Structures are given as C-alpha cells and as structure tokens.
Amino acid sequence: MAMNTLTTTKDIRPADGELLLETVGLTKSYAGADGELPVLSGIDLQVRAGEVVALLGKSGSGKSTLLRCLAGLVPASSGTITYKNTPLTGANPGTAMVFQTFALLPWLTVQQNVELGLEAKGVAAAERAEAARQAIDLIGLDGFESAYPKELSGGMRQRVGFARALVVEPDVLMMDEPFSALDVLTAENLRGELMELWESGQFPTRAIVLVTHNIEEAVLMADRIVVLGSRPYGTIREVFEVGLDRPRDRNAAAFEDLIDRVYRTMTGRQKEGRTPGRSEAIELDKRTPANTPLPQASVDGLSGLAEMVLHRGGRCDLADLADDLGLEIDDLLPQVDALDLLGFTKLSGDDLLLTETGTAFAGAYVQESKKIFAEAVLHAPLVQLITRSLHQSPSGKLRAGFVRDLLAHHFTSEQVTAQLDTATDWGRYAELYSYDAEPQEYRLDENGERAAAPRS
C-alpha cells in the first residue's frame, strides 16, 4: 500500500539547515544501589532541518535515552538540551514520537487514535478530524478510519503510529526502532515508503531522528549516522556523513564500504595495529545489569554460532560467515556479543576466534556443554543477580517484579522484558533456576548440583 503525497495547499516546510535540536555536554545518570549509574556522558549533537539522523548502537549504548532526552521526556542530569536555541524545561513542543510497540489505545478507532495528539493540544473537533483524515490518507490508511487496532496487522498498526505523530506536524519526527517489531518484508516496505515520502518534499516534518541497532537500516535511511558506544556508558564514538544519493543501492561499492566502516566502529575494532575487539570491556567485578545488559540471543542461537566457528577451525571472518548464511552482519551481532560476554570468543582483526573455554563448549555433548555454560553464565550480571537473590531468599523464590523494578531505572519497559526473557532462557538452560509464569517467580533449580551459590 503506497503512501500518498499531501494534497493540501500548505507550504512545504523548509529544509533549510536551521538548527532545530542541540545538546551540549549532555549527561544522564540514574540512581543505583552503589550510587549514580551513568547512561550518557558528554553528548554533543546537532539536528538540522532537512536531515535524517540515525542514532546507532547496541543495547545499553543509551540511544533510546538520548532520543527521550531530545524529546524532553527525560531530563538531563547535566549539560543542555535546546530546541531552536531555547532550553528545554519539559516536553519538547517541536517533536513527536513513533514507538517500537505501536502504543495504540485498543478501545479507540484508527481515526480516534490519530486525533489524540491534536485533542491534547486543544484543537477543535472538526479541525482535528479533518487533519487526521489527511494524515491517514498521507500514510496510506484511507479506508481504515473506523477500524480498531486489533483488526490491523502489525504494519498497519505502525502506520497509525506514524499518522498520529505526523498529524501534529512536528519539526522533528522521533522514531525509536519503529520497524523492529515488524516482519522483514513489512519493515522493508514501510521503510521504503517513508523515505519516498520524505524525498517527495511533502513530508510534514523538517527532520527525522531515528534510533536503530541495524547498520544497514541506518545507511539506507540516514544523512548522518551517530554511533554510540556502551562501555562503560553512552558516548559518541564517531559520526558518519553518508553522502549517498537516494534511493540507495545496496549492491553499490560505496554502500558496502560505508557499512563496513560503521561496523568496525560499532563493534570496537581498531585499525592502527592495536588488538581489536572489546577494548572497552568492563572488568568482571565491576559489571552490573545496568552497564552490561544481556544481548538478545537465545542459548540455541549462541550455541549454533559457536559450533559454526568450531567447524571452520575455531576461527572465521564474520562477514564471510554472514554471506554464507544469507544474513546481514547485524543478524549475528547479538550472538557475537553473547559469546563475548560468556568468555567463549574474542575478536582478532576481522575474525571471530573461539577461546579455549569456547572450543570446549562448542565441541562438547549436551550435558557437558550445559556444565560449561553454567559456569560461564555467571559472568552475566543479571543472571548472577537472580541466582544470588534466590540463594539469599529463605523460600528459595524470587518475584520477577523485584528484578523488573530494578531494571526499570535503566531500561525502557520493552528492554526490561527482553532482558528478563534472555536471563530466564540462560538460567534455565544452566539449571541455575526455574521460572513459573503463573505467579511470575524464579525458583532455585531442584537439581542442586549446578545451583550452587555464585562466588562473590
């Protein structure tokens, strides 16, 4: 379903390079048990009219926190955030947000959901109804005005999210991983249509700030890519000027070269002869669930990657492996990060190498590999936190809500859920604990042998 261009007589909003958003020395910290926990540090960033800026980084790099700071939803701990040279003291009046999880009100129709922002601004009923109809038509949803969210596919629901954001005609459209909850084909279609609309000059916003962890998505969409690093806290590692004409050709040498350069920066690889890899890695005794989030990788996924590397002699080029599997490098990064966190692999140049422990894990039979995994997984702070809490509980039980509340200080609700899902998967496999979904609580594993309390 193609998006339409605006049919109103409104002037096209100028893309004249005006400075819309700026942060200077922005830091953000949250209170933790051991004091202030930094999430962002020393962020200097500008967003100008006419550009698409991608905030790229892995989980824990602070990219979503930075987006919320720019939107005025989260206050800075220090530094300044300005909108058109005016310091923010609350919600940013020049921005609107599109979320990963659609965030629609299920009891309202498409039309009513789209009107919400205008209603909050006090726009009269007739005027907001007409504006909503225009936004619905613009985003390719005409004919669905009276439908409820439950009647729509994921892609259609996200279109409603776009229409609701665009109807208020913000200077800057904020998008927090808006395509990650969609299937690949739907995401590709919606992404392409959005950029066609942006290029048409009829887009009812002057700039876009996109949060993503997907390198190719950033190169496809952005004019500038801001790469955030996550260790020990969020800082800007590098800024790339894309400089490629749209629509962008994925097979062009310049496109592939930029992906490679961004990938090297994002994964911490060095170019001047230094040992690449996790040069920023946090010492084991200083890791916390906040500064070392779990990658979204299942045990099967990380085990599968370890076995593939073992079958290639214990060493392989990630780009070549991704090509052999018909995947993008981005698809393998969570598994790579998981193996690194567990101490099963390290990076050397462009190659992923199994460590001695990783080689044993990848080559062992199931029961032996579980024992190796059980020892290694206590390097993961969240798994360690759950296990220690269970051993300190007289009942040997732990409510998931306790852990969720701790994580909520540092992550969005979606990220908290993802962290708990991974910790549950890893802890169950290691036989450290079990999880009962009905009361939503963790319990010490009855086997006992592998459920020994972790060493302090």
Domain spans in the chain, listed from the N-terminal domain onward: 19-266, 285-369, 380-444
Collect all residues with Cβ–Cβ distance below 8 Å to 339 and sequence separation of at least 6. 302, 305, 306, 345, 352, 358
Tell me, what DSSP letter sits at residue 234? B
pLDDT for residue 316: 87
CA proximity to 369, closest of 356, 379, 358, 378: 358
| CA distances from residue 133 to 127, 146, 196, 304 in whole angstroms, order as listed | 10, 11, 20, 49
Placement of tokens 């080689």 in the chain: 359
Phi/psi at 89 (5° precision): -125, 5
pLDDT reported for residue 34: 52
Token representation of residue 41: 């540090």
> For the chain, how big is the Rg over CA atoms in Å?
23
Q: How far is CA 408 from the centre of its chain?
A: 16
Contact 36, 191 (CB under 8 A): no
CB–CB of 61/232 below 8 Å? no
Per-residue pLDDT, 272:
34
Structure tokens that stand for 395 in this block: 């009942």
Domain 285-369 listed as CATH 1.20.1050.10:
no
Asked if 163 contacts 129 with a C-beta cutoff of 8 angstroms, the reply is no
**Of 116, 415, 455, 192, residue with least CA distance to 289:** 415
Task: State which residues of the chain have pLDDT below 70.
Answer: 1-15, 31-36, 102, 230-233, 268-285, 349-350, 446-456
Looking at residue 32, its pLDDT comes to 56
Distance CA 122, CA 127 (A): 10
Question: Tokens representing 122?
Answer: 């006090």
The alpha carbon of residue 388 and the mean position of all alpha carbons in its chain are separated, in whole angstroms, by 28
Percent of the chain with pLDDT over 70: 87
User: Has domain 19-266 been given CATH number 3.40.50.300?
Assistant: yes
